[in-house]
Structure 1
Amino acid sequence: MRKFVVILAIALFAIPFLPQKSQALGLEVAAGVWSQGPSGDISYDGNLAPGTTLDIEKDLKYDKKTKLFGRIKAELPLFLPNIYIMATPMKFEETGSKNIPFTFGNQTFNANVPFHSKLQLDHYDIAFYYSLPFLKTATMGKLNAELGINARIIDLKAEITQNTLGISESQSFTIPVPMIYAGIQVNPVKFFSVELEGRGIAYSSNHYYDFIGRVKIRPFGPIFVAGGYRIEDIKIDHSDIKASIKFKGPFAEAGVQF
């Protein structure tokens, strides 16, 4: 995420100095905050036995967290695909308790003893997409639709520790997830637009869906402010981690668009 923030800052600083010809291609840079409300469950299977299914809210005690996110969208000329980059950090960390012993990985944790848990699920997207030919022109710029492919890099780490007993277990992995990307922008007037975008894939018993709805206002020049709602629905079984989790909540952002 730090690397993305640096790139974002450089891009924002450099925009005013771009030649007019480059700016005409289309560039959007934004940063904001998302209130991530988690729900669902997670388990980590050991070598000899399946892990205990832990409820995100009841057992791990996770609640809403507000995190920064950033995105860059560039429309390229000729037949080159347009590019959409987005970074979404996620991290939950709380102290929980369970009234029965439970297993996480190869470690069994004691009942009625507080435990500390961390769940990190940072993800980074890069999409290559095209706008549907002639739709924007035919509607005089009031409607645009996009379709393409998206690569999402998931950086996951799950850890549980009972400090009083000196026991701990964790698992981490980084995996790429190919997804379909689709977006729609409705611009009834110049300073106001409604946008919808989705990314998703389903395979075997796994799925990953990410939906964003956004209302955007341009008060003056290239500057815009926006608010909306985002929902992520994840069901994954990888490296003995099984998770069925949803994250949802409102977000707000600000940026520039040329």
Structure 2
Amino acid sequence: MQLRSILLLLCGLLLAVGTASADEILSVKAGYISLSPDGDFAVDGGGLAGTRINLKDDLNYDDSEDFIGEAALNLGPFRLSAGYLPIEFSGNGNLKRQIIFNGQTFNVNTNVSSDVNIDMYDFGLVWHIINIDDLPVRLQFGPELSVKYIDGEVSMRDSSGALNEKDSISAPVPTIGARARVGLADWLALVGRVGYLEYDGNTLLDADGQIEFSPLPLVGVYAGYRYIDMEVDESGVFIDATLDGPYGGLFVRF
């Protein structure tokens, strides 16, 4: 049923754009991102509320560095996109205080290791209500509806192996925002995107800006900065954190 709905949506978009054309129909980006974490998380379990654990102070979490990707299909004023962002943090240290994680108690001075692994799949639809290409600069701007599917796992274990706890969360998170692209020249463009959601005390802000440089018509490089601010309290998992950092890579377009 879901596949049928997607096919109907694509057909509707094709009919809507008619004979309209864009400079590019398909673009593919591959790059590398470095994200720095800041904030707290907690995991409830066994009828016990989890201790709020600071990513930096308690467990010395390092930065997340990994490959990212995005593919986009331009259909006249519409833009369909699919992106992938892996987030992997790990840290360890001797606890300066007692911590309760997933119903288990990790005592003071215990050497603890912890990992946070999140796969974020981002599907977006933009309607460029402003789509001007007959000026010295090309301007595109419009609202964006995005669904971010988050599949994450948080784990904690002591050095002896006596305690090894983990919990996971998986959920689709819709956001509403906007996307803009300013083509300063055929070989240079600025791109900005922001999405936001707030419901039942949970919030998610995802924003990034980038610059595209393409000395060759179909090939180029890009660089940008991404900022994610989330506060989630679902299924016994609490996260109040910001992730931000630079990224860059290559792209091709057809």
Query: Which residue of structure 2 aligns with residue 108 of structure 1?
Result: 105
2:217 matches 1:218: no
How many corresponding residue pairs? Answer: 235
Bigger strand share = 2
Question: CA-to-partner distance for each residue in 1:28-78, whole Å, 9 max, x for gaps?
Answer: 10000111111101011223221111000111211222211000010125x
Change (3 A) 1:139 1:162: same
Give the TM-score of the pair, scaled to structure 2: 0.86
Gaps (5+ residues) in structure 1?
Answer: 1-21
Contact 2:206 2:227 in 1 (8 A): yes
Note the C-alpha offset of 1:199. 1.9
Q: Please give the secondary structure, in 2, of the residue aligned with 1:100.
A: coil
- After superposing the two structures, state which structure 1 stretch, 91-100 or 104-113, moved more: 91-100
Note the C-alpha offset of 1:24. 6.3
Give the TM-score of the pair, scaled to structure 1: 0.85
Query: Which residue of structure 1 aligns with residue 15 of structure 2?
Result: none
- After superposing the two structures, state which structure 1 stretch, 201-210 or 153-162, moved more: 201-210
Contact 2:144 2:179 in 1 (8 A): no
What code does the residue aligned with 1:220 have? L
1:1-258 → structure 2 map (5 Å cutoff) = 26-76=25-75, 81-133=78-130, 135-137=131-133, 139=135, 142-164=138-160, 166-258=162-254
Q: What CA distance in whole angstroms lies between the structure 2 residues aligned with 1:70 and 1:49?
A: 39
Q: What CA distance in whole angstroms lies between the structure 1 residues aligned with 2:250 and 2:191?
A: 15
RMSD of aligned Cα (Å): 2.0
Q: What CA distance in whole angstroms lies between the structure 1 residues aligned with 2:79 and 2:202?
A: 28
Query: Which residue of structure 2 aligns with residue 16 of structure 1?
Result: none
Q: What CA distance in whole angstroms lies between the structure 2 residues aligned with 1:227 and 1:39?
A: 23
